[in-house]
Chains A and B, each alone.
Chain A
Amino acid sequence: MGSTSAQNNGEGFGRRDLIKRSAALGLVAVPTMSFLSACASSDSGSGNKAKKGKTSAKNPLGVNETAPLAVTIFDGGFGTKYATDANAQYKKAFPKAKIQFHATQKIQSELQPKFNGGTPPDLIDNSGAEQMDMGVLVGKKQLTDLTPLLDSASFDDPSKKVRDTLRPGIVEMGQFDGDPVWIMYYAYTVYGVWYSQKALDGLDAQYPENWDDMLALCAKAKKKGIAGWTYAGKYPYYLPFSLYPFIAKIGGREVLDKIDNLEPGAWQDPAVKSAFEAYYELYKKGYILKGTPGIDHIQSQTAWAKGKALFIPNGSWVENESASVIPKDFGLSVGAPSGLDSSDKMPFGTIWASGGEPFIVPAKANNAEGGMEQLRIMLSEESSKNFTSSVKSLTAFNGGTDGIELTPGLKSGVAALEKAGDNVVNPRLQDWYVKLQKEQIGVSVLGEMMAGRLTPAEAIKKAQGYADAAAKDSSIKHYKHQ
């Protein structure tokens, strides 16, 4: 090439210099290392905390009336209106307080430096893809114990504590080890097997309550060219939404607790084996929609909404997420997992429901009481109704559905919770051990088994191996069911 060699007389830049410079460019481009250090740890600033105000019947937490309140909300599927509405209520109660409201999708990138610097906001909705690891936040004592909030009088009825107005499992989910409650989950999600009532009517079928009926129904659908099941093949950690309560139904709650506690041999429980074998049969008999291992959650939900498959394991957000593809007469419903047979330990109706949208109050917040007061306002019946009617999701507040019109999915979710009664299970693997649940059990065990690349026996062995490794890993904080 003329261009480089033309200058190559005397002291000009030659090819070697060019390459040297390119190599230097390579150094610059070595990814992530330098940007990781950009959020390098610095000294924690000494927070000048707001003085606590006087407690009164209207102000049970003793909020300082003039202290500013900083709130950071994850701007996701639920939007931010519910939060700004709650801000307005706070402002009404404490007119002198200034509210700094901030909505973002980048929770971690924006807040991590603030945690490291000791200047976090007073209330955070730690949600979304950039969720900060709760276990680490708790382990490093970065959060405020919310017990005062739970023990304060509820917003609607001063004779009731906030604790007693919540749905089952919410308080336990906020605990990590011991009594302190670090997280207040605000949304309430119902997991299960989602289907179209219209599609079942078309096959003259009822929702199957045991596995023989399930297989018979799938066989019937197959004859009509409809697959029995599909799932988010690329994110197979959606499968546990129906598989885990299925395991609990067969072998009782203890089996799931043992799995959560990473006990040796927990996955070798006969209930796990039966459940895995039942699901594997769906694959073997060809009842899984073809191509499922290669599609993501949206693609699987779309195929299901178009009637290509009857059932999909999912959570109650599916109604909102797939609203544009679910036909009006679809009859969206959620079923508790079909049982195995009559020897199951828990009755039909056993379902997985748990909190979503984790709200936290940082330990170094300037106005921690204000953050908790804001939560107390959000857990009122009025705020809860506002949330449910605008974003089609239940809240942690037990009730709050009377007098508002519920969408079909939500209505069936409420019915499923009623049917379940006390038989609500709440497996913790997905919030205690994210990597184990998603990447290892989800992708490398369940995903592989449902794609037919592992037998149930191999899958169980692999799952147990991962669980044992996680139990031994000293870089992970370990938890136990209380």
Chain B
Amino acid sequence: MQHGKYRFIVGFLVAPLALYAVFVIWPFIQSIYYSFTDWTGLSPDFKMVGFANYERMFQDDVFWKSLQHSVMLVLLLPLVTLGLALFFAFMLNVGGRRRKGTAITGVRGSGFYKIAYFFPQVLSIAIVAILFRFAFNPNDGVINGTLKAVGLGSIQPDWLGDPNFALWCVMAVLVWSTVGFFVVLFSAGMASIPKDFYEAALLDGASRFTTFFKITLPLLWDTVQSGWIYMGILALGAEAFASVQIMTVGPGGPDYSTTVLPLYVYLSAFRDANAAYATTIGVALLVVTLLFAAVVMRLGRRERLEF
């Protein structure tokens, strides 16, 4: 069987690798190439301009602002979303009061909550963003309406119209729309953790807090890590772009307070007809993404628990 093993493996890999090379690697090389040209995107003639686009990018305040916001999203969004999702999943599966006959159980009504949390996942991000446009309306929106109803009529922020709140509003929407998916994912992970572990811990008098950090989290680590990468992609990519593009002032405002890298790529390419500069920002985005992946892989190295 050893004989011809590699040929056998290569035989299987040729087709997918070729597809990957043509549809992923090649476009990357092409866009890096275009970042050294002055291609407008509207006509087939262009010339090489060396590092001009990169020089321009490094002096571009809007680029730095977009980078700053994108980095902020990629750091904060996974943290908040996964933290919340872990908390909810734990409460739904393990965190309930002890009842007769079972050692561990979720909070009352956990079946309903699971569906409720998952619900936003069914809606596309564009629909979610449009719904929140209405919710954030300072005059007739749900949020200010609720504030008024509970007697906080004096606090009526402009939300998306206020540079201090706008980016937080976008983040809140992204958390709201993604947390449910991870609740379900983590619930599934928790279901595969043997119940005896919890029973043993509870017999020893461990609190819920301790069981979470000593049992649930370590055994769930693989899932959390995949979630981390997934969330990072979302924060750097399409979801962040769509919510900013649809919801914010301008979009990207007020006064560049919500602009993110993918939005800047889009505007440069399709509004300013400067596709070369857009690919340059795209290259910067690639670097950020690779850095993120590297960091997550490094931080993720942990001892594996066998069970």
Contacts and interface: CB of A to CB of B under 8 A. Distances in A.
Interface of A: 1-5, 8, 15, 18-20, 22-23, 25-44, 108, 112, 115-118, 130, 132-133, 135-137, 140, 142, 233-236, 289-296, 299, 303, 308, 434-435, 438-439, 442-444, 447-448, 451, 453, 475-476
14 contacts: A1-B189, A2-B192, A4-B222, A31-B285, A37-B30, A37-B279, A136-B42, A291-B144, A295-B139, A303-B139, A434-B271, A448-B254, A451-B254, A475-B272
B36 interface: no
Contacts of A27: 24, 289-290
Given A133-B273, A453-B163, A115 B192 contact: no
B221 to A, nearest CB: 8
Contacts of A434: 271-272
B297 A30 contact: no
B13 to A, nearest CB: 13
Contacts of B278: 32, 36
Contacts of A136: 40, 42-43, 273
A37 B31 CA distance: 6
8 closest residue pairs by CB, A with B: A291-B138, A294-B161, A293-B161, A133-B273, A34-B27, A140-B43, A294-B158, A33-B282
B44 A42 contact: yes
B262 A32 contact: yes
B38 A30 contact: no
Most buried by A among B192, B271, B306: B271
A295 B138 contact: yes
A234 B31 contact: no
Interface string B16-59: 00000001100110110010001111111110000000001000
Contacts of A290: 138-139, 156
Given A37-B31, A443-B249, A448-B254, A22 B230 contact: yes
Contacts of B262: 31-32
A23 B156 contact: no
Contacts of B198: none
Nearest to A43: B44
A64 to B, nearest CB: 26
Given A34-B23, A136-B273, A295-B138, A116 B253 contact: no
Interface of B: 23-24, 27-28, 30-31, 34, 38-46, 56, 133, 136-140, 144, 156-163, 189, 192-193, 219-220, 222-223, 225-226, 229-230, 232-233, 236-238, 241, 248-250, 252-256, 262, 265-267, 269-275, 277-279, 282-283, 285-286, 289-290, 292-293, 296-297, 300, 304, 306-307
A136 B306 CA distance: 62
A33 B279 contact: yes
Contacts of A117: 44
Contact of A115 (B42, B220, B226): B42
A290 B163 CA distance: 16
Contacts, number: 231
Given A29-B233, A41-B39, A291-B156, A36 B275 contact: yes
A36 B161 contact: no
A26 B236 CA distance: 10
B192 A133 contact: no
Contacts of A34: 23-24, 27-28, 31
Given A32-B282, A294-B138, A435-B272, A5 B42 contact: no
A140 B45 contact: yes
A70 B257 CA distance: 44
A476 B38 CA distance: 11
A308 B163 CA distance: 25
Given A26-B233, A234-B160, A116 B249 contact: no
Contacts of A36: 31, 34, 41, 265, 269, 275, 278-279, 282
B41 A112 contact: yes
Contacts of A20: 297
A235 B161 CA distance: 10
B27 A443 contact: no
Nearest to B43: A140
Contacts of A33: 27-28, 31, 265, 279, 282-283, 285-286
B306 A447 contact: no
A143 to B, nearest CB: 11
A291 B139 contact: yes
B27 A29 contact: no
Nearest to B157: A294
A300 B160 CA distance: 14
A41 B30 CA distance: 11
B302 to A, nearest CB: 9
Contacts of B255: 443-444, 447-448, 453
B181 to A, nearest CB: 15
B255 to A, nearest CB: 5
A19 B228 CA distance: 10
A26 B42 contact: no
